[in-house]
Homo-oligomer: A and B are copies of this chain.
């Protein structure tokens, strides 16, 4: 988009040469969009009766309306993105909290397992002592 170029477009059946930094494809897309609007407007009987000044202003307002509606959409999506961002943030913390709890409980479980194993050893030792004691 840094090189300046000349692009020829046809708008409303007239040829125009535009110099700019945008790509030829992009300018053709815009020309196509504007032509569609011209076609739509020309189908309206009332539009054709207006003077050229009013017709041009209405065209500008119509395109500007498309623009404002798109900007509105951007703003709404911005707000939604903020909400999603907060949701993500909270969820990430929920995951970390759950994993921390899990790790802590795994540690406790390990300790209890050891204590249980020790208790089992003591039981065996006491059972052996008891049998010895009974045999005497």
Contacts and interface: CB of A to CB of B under 8 A. Distances in A.
A111 to B, nearest CB: 10
Contacts of A27: 61
Interface of A: 11-12, 14, 16, 18, 22, 26-27, 29-31, 33-34, 53-54, 56-61, 63-68, 70-71, 73-74, 77-78, 80-81, 84-85, 87-88, 91-92, 94-95, 98-99, 101-102, 105-106, 108-109, 112-113, 115-116, 119-120, 122-123, 126-127, 129-130, 133-134
Q: Which 10 A-B pairs have the closest CB atoms?
A: A98-B98, A70-B70, A126-B126, A67-B67, A119-B119, A91-B91, A77-B77, A63-B63, A133-B133, A84-B84
